[in-house]
Structure formats: structure tokens, C-alpha cells
């Protein structure tokens, strides 16, 4: 790792060079493509990203849960460098190569369940989700798909239909794909019923809504993020996911776990489903799978994956050889550094520090998450009314102090923390100190 593991601000953030680049961006990049923290990055590694002005920022975002093994992680760089010098592309459907097969073998080994599994590789999370739905529809001969409130599954047409939030993801982009049905999420903090029976009540609503509005025998798939990402790191209570998986088994539907954000050591297990021993029929992965290179996968029961006719799955770039090399490097990093254990250590640090922060700030209504996927939900004190303005202001204050943090949530009031697992304890604590300072500054206390 060449990047010095130290926060350092030498200009305002963003500094003059970044502002110059931002002006060029404004002139040449579509406005629809936003930037959360417009400090332009030139180098990154460990827990630090370095911008064009030489500022060293602490990274609590991992490029939205992608560089879980750290930016430019050694095994990723080594394997990518070696691969890119040999060949850059052949298209696996034209001239295949070993890396693709090796990634599929690793996925079969690492994903939940010890049944025979197969995979197909794609470029982005959204593409993986689309393909999981295609596979489920062919395998079941049914078309209905059930998804959840606060879900995020992508920005393509079918995945927009599955994504819950209108602004900014869907607004004006319709009409959307049909035969998609949305049901309430088991969201403990905001569940309107009995707080001790969220899993039972949410499952009862799922069952009843599907019966009344869809028909059990019409359901091709139920798709859920085992911990919801963009929706605000919503962790369903124990028992909810196993009930859904059982319902799918009982009703001939495919249970799809979208682990694109929660997968690959992020939550302290290989996959968030592992926490309760839930075995999905299909699992979608992306982001953390390849340490920053674009790769995604659908992995699942061999008989489901093989239900699709020959030639029915593919794409020019899916499973690109350099991206596959990156995935093998990322998995090597995860195994050799026991990153699941590291994610659990990071959770312990966050829980302690966020608990202390919440004791001083009644605006923190909820602390939740698992592993290195933690969040706080901000509300008006004494209520559960979302405070998106405060969330935005604290995030902005953090950015100015040299901390990369992201927000999330249907109501824009969730502060989420996704540090790379290669970050040091020192930088974690310093980042948490900055959050503390930012709260104090914004709340004037």
C-alpha cells in the first residue's frame, strides 16, 4: 500500500484543482450524473482517498460498498496487472477462458448452501438482478415478482420497477416493467404494529397481500436485500427472511437474495443471509466481488440456472477476463486477511462510538446495521419524523473535514458507514471523531 494512512487537509475540500475539474465536468458530463463529494481522486488505498489538491480523506464509503478489500488492494493489483498484459477481452461466449470458470467455482463454494450451484457473470448489479428475474421466470413458467418497500435493485427498466424510491431513481423514467408487486418491509424502527412481533406481522402482510393481489401460483420470484442498502440499512428482524424462504419453497417460487451491497464480508459473514442460515435459490452479487472492477453474478441452484435455453444468458463483456482476475484477487484478500472477522471488529467500534453519540444527540433515533455496514437514522427529537436536512448538513460538514460519508434512506435521513475493511482502527476512530465534531458544529452545541 503506497498511500500514507493519515488524514491531511492542505486546501478546502474541494480544493482549487477539484473545482477546476468540476467546471470541466459541468461542461462535458450530463447533469443527471451527480457527484456527492466533488473532490477529484487521484489515488486511494487502505482507509484513505487522495484528491487532486493533495488532500487525504478518510474513506467511510468504499465507493458505495465496492472496495471492501481496500482500494487497489495488493492481490487485486497483482492479478489484474498480470491478466491485462495477457489479453483484455475475447468475449466468454466467443473464446472462453479459465478465470470466468474459476470465479463461478469460487461463487459456488462461498455462497450459502451446499447444493449444486452454477453462475452466470455480468457487468453491473442491475444487470445481475435483471438476469435473476429472467432465470426465475423461465424456471417457474410464471411472471409475477414480489419486492419490498425501501428496496433498491438498480436503474435499468426492470430494476427501476423493483426499486422503491421515486426521486431520483425513477422520476419521469416510466413506464416501468409490469407484473411487479411491492409489499411492506419488516422495518423494525418504523413498524406501525407490535414492536415485538415485526417479523410475524410483516410476514403475515406479505402472505395476505400475495394471496389477495397476486395469487401464490403466479409468483415467479420474491426478491429482497437481506439488509437493505440504499433504503437505509434496514435490517429485518430475525425470522423474517427464513419465513420468506420457506414460503417460496412451499409455493414453488424462487427466493432471490440481492446481496449486491451486503455481500462479500461486508456484514461479517460471506453473505448477509449466512447470519440466519438462510439459503436463497438465487443470489445476486456485484460491488465487493471484484475490488472495484465491474463484475456481477447470478449464482443459484444448478437446476434453476440450467432451466434457461442455451444462448439465453450472456452479453459482450459479462465476466471480462480482467474483472475476473480482480475478483479472484479480491477473494484472495478476503480469505487471507479474514475480512469477516475484521468487519465484526469494525461493527464493535461503530456500535460503541455511535451509542455514545446517540446518548448526547436525541436526533439519532436508531443505530443499526451489521459488520462494516452500519447506519444511524436521524429524526426530530422526541419524534420519528425524518430529518433529512440535518442529515445533509452533517454529511456536508463531514466532507469539509475530510471524511467521505454517504447518506441513504427513503426519507434521506440515514447516515451510512461503509468503510473499506482495510482501514486502520486509528482512522476509524478519527473518522468517528469527525462525525462527532460535525454533529456538534451543525447542532451548535
Local structure of residue 274 (DSSP, 8 states): G
227 touches ligand PLZ (CB under 6 A): no
Q: Which residue in the set 57, 103, 129, 180 belongs to the binding site for ligand PLZ (CB under 6 A)?
A: 129
| Interface stretch with ligand PLZ, choices 125-133, 176-184, 380-388, 408-416 (CB under 6 A) | 125-133
130 touches ligand PLZ (CB under 6 A): no
261 touches ligand PLZ (CB under 6 A): yes
Q: Phi and psi (nearest 5°) for 374? A: -115, 155
Q: Give the per-residue SS3 of 340-406.
A: HHHHHHHHHHHHHHHHHHHHHCCCEEEEEEECCEEEEEEECCCCCCECHHHHHHHHHHHHHCCEECE
**Nearby residues of 426 by Cβ (< 8 Å), 6 or more positions away:** 5
**Nearby residues of 179 by Cβ (< 8 Å), 6 or more positions away:** 143, 144, 145
| Interface stretch with ligand PLZ, choices 17-25, 85-93, 122-130, 405-413 (CB under 6 A) | 122-130
124 touches ligand PLZ (CB under 6 A): yes
Please, which of residues 52-111 interact with ligand PLZ by CB under 6 A?
64
Nearer to ligand PLZ, 136 or 364 (CB): 136
126 touches ligand PLZ (CB under 6 A): yes
Residue least distant from ligand PLZ (Cβ): 125
225 touches ligand PLZ (CB under 6 A): yes
DSSP 3-state of 174: coil
Q: Which residue in the set 229, 318, 402, 431 belongs to the binding site for ligand PLZ (CB under 6 A)?
A: 229
241 touches ligand PLZ (CB under 6 A): no
The x, y and z cell numbers of residue 237, run together, are 428482524
Shortest Cβ distance from residue 372 to ligand PLZ (Å)? 15
What is the enclosing helix (H) or strand (E) of 37? none
**Nearby residues of 374 by Cβ (< 8 Å), 6 or more positions away:** 233, 346, 347, 350, 351, 354, 367, 368, 416, 417
The x, y and z cell numbers of residue 190, run together, are 418504523
List for the chain the helix, strand, coil content (%; round to 5).
40, 15, 40
Of the candidates 329, 313, 312, the one whose C-alpha atom is nearest the C-alpha of residue 99 is 329
Q: Which residue in the set 14, 70, 113, 125 belongs to the binding site for ligand PLZ (CB under 6 A)?
A: 125
Please, which of residues 359-388 interact with ligand PLZ by CB under 6 A?
none
| Interface stretch with ligand PLZ, choices 101-109, 149-157, 198-206, 249-257 (CB under 6 A) | 149-157
**Nearby residues of 173 by Cβ (< 8 Å), 6 or more positions away:** 157, 160
| Interface stretch with ligand PLZ, choices 47-55, 119-127, 182-190, 323-331 (CB under 6 A) | 119-127
Cβ burial 427-438 (10 Å sphere, 16+ → b, else e): bbebbbebbbeb
Shortest Cβ distance from residue 23 to ligand PLZ (Å)? 23
Nearer to ligand PLZ, 230 or 347 (CB): 230
Nearer to ligand PLZ, 73 or 286 (CB): 286
Tell me the C-alpha distance between 376 and 427, whole Å: 19
Shortest Cβ distance from residue 156 to ligand PLZ (Å)? 8
**Site residues, ligand PLZ (CB under 6 A):** 64, 124-126, 129, 152-155, 225, 229-230, 258, 260-261, 286
Amino acid at each position: 500500500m503506497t498511500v500514507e494512512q493519515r488524514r491531511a487537509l492542505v486546501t478546502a475540500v474541494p480544493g482549487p484543482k477539484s473545482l477546476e475539474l468540476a467546471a470541466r465536468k459541468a461542461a462535458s458530463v450530463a447533469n443527471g450524473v451527480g457527484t456527492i463529494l466533488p473532490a477529484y481522486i487521484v489515488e486511494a488505498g487502505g482507509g484513505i482517498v487522495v484528491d487532486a489538491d493533495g488532500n487525504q480523506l478518510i474513506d467511510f464509503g468504499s465507493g458505495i460498498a465496492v472496495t471492501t478489500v481496500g482500494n487497489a488492494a495488493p492481490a487485486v493489483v497483482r492479478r489484474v496487472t498480470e491478466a491485462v498484459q495477457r489479453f483484455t477481452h475475447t468475449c466468454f461466449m466467443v473464446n472462453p477462458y479459465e478465470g470466468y470458470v474459476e470465479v463461478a467455482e469460487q461463487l459456488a463454494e462461498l455462497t450459502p448452501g451446499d447444493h449444486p450451484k452454477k453462475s452466470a457473470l455480468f457487468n453491473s448489479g442491475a444487470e445481475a438482478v435483471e438476469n435473476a428475474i429472467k432465470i426465475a421466470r423461465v424456471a417457474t413458467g410464471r411472471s409475477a415478482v414480489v419486492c419490498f418497500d425501501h428496496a433498491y435493485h438498480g436503474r435499468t427498466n426492470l430494476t427501476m420497477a423493483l426499486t422503491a424510491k421515486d426521486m431520483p431513481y425513477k422520476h419521469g423514467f416510466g413506464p416501468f416493467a409490469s407484473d411487479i408487486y411491492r409489499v411492506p418491509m419488516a422495518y423494525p424502527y418504523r413498524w406501525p404494529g407490535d414492536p415485538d412481533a415485526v417479523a410475524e406481522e410483516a410476514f403475515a402482510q406479505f402472505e395476505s397481500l400475495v394471496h389477495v393481489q397476486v395469487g401464490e401460483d403466479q409468483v415467479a420470484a420474491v426478491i429482497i436485500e437481506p439488509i437493505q442498502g440504499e433504503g437505509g440499512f434496514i435490517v429485518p428482524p430475525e425470522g423474517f427472511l427464513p419465513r420468506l424462504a420457506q414460503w417460496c419453497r412451499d409455493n414453488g417460487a424462487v427466493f432471490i437474495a440481492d446481496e449486491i451491497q451486503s455481500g462479500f464480508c461486508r456484514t461479517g459473514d460471506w453473505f448477509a443471509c449466512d447470519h440466519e442460515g438462510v439459503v436463497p435459490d438465487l443470489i445476486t452479487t456485484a460491488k465487493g466481488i471484484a475490488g472495484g472492477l465491474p463484475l456481477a453474478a447470478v449464482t443459484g441452484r444448478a437446476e434453476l440456472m440450467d432451466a434457461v435455453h442455451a444462448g439465453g444468458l450472456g452479453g459482450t463483456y459479462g465476466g471480462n477476463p480482467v474483472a475476473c482476475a480482480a475478483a479472484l484477487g479480491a477473494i484472495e484478500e478476503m480469505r487471507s486477511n479474514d475480512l469477516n472477522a475484521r468487519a465484526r471488529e469494525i461493527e464493535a467500534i461503530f456500535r460503541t462510538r455511535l451509542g455514545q453519540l446517540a446518548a448526547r444527540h436525541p436526533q439519532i433515533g436508531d443505530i443499526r446495521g451489521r459488520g462494516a455496514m452500519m447506519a444511524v437514522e436521524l429524526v426530530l427529537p422526541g419524534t420519528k419524523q425524518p430529518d433529512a436536512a440535518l442529515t445533509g448538513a452533517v454529511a456536508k460538514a463531514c466532507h469539509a473535514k475530510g471524511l467521505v460519508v454517504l447518506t441513504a434512506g427513503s426519507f434521506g435521513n440515514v447516515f451510512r458507514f461503509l468503510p473499506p475493511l482495510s482501514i486502520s482502527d486509528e482512522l476509524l476512530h478519527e473518522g468517528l471523531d469527525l462525525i462527532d465534531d460535525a454533529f456538534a458544529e451543525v447542532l451548535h452545541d
